Amino acid sequence: MKLLIRNLARTSTEETLQALFAEHGAVQSCTLVMDKVSGGSKGFGFVEMPNPGEAKAAVKVLNASNVDGNVIRVKKAD
């Protein structure tokens, strides 16, 4: 299941996301969307989790949680 994570702090890293979601199950991939001009994070990213049950549990726990000073939003990507 592919998840969309929004409102990430510009200082958040892929490693941060990987560790955060790994607490809730297996993580297949983790990608931050980067600005081509500045090279910095655009404030959102994607996490893929192969087990839908673990992904749904991660959404439930992590949506509206505080990560690096920002309240993140997590939902299933379309």
17-47 tens-digit pLDDT: 999 999 999 999 999 999 999 999 999 999 9
| Residue 78, pLDDT score | 84
**Average per-residue pLDDT for the chain:** 96
**54 — pLDDT class (breaks 50, 70, 90):** very high
Look up the CATH number of domain 2-76. Answer: 3.30.70.330
- Residue 48 phi/psi, 5° resolution? -110, 130
Tokens (6 digits) for 14: 């892929």
> What are the boundaries of each domain within the chain?
2-76
For position 26, what pLDDT does the model report? Answer: 97
Strand 73-76 relative to strand 29-34: parallel, antiparallel, unpaired?
A: unpaired
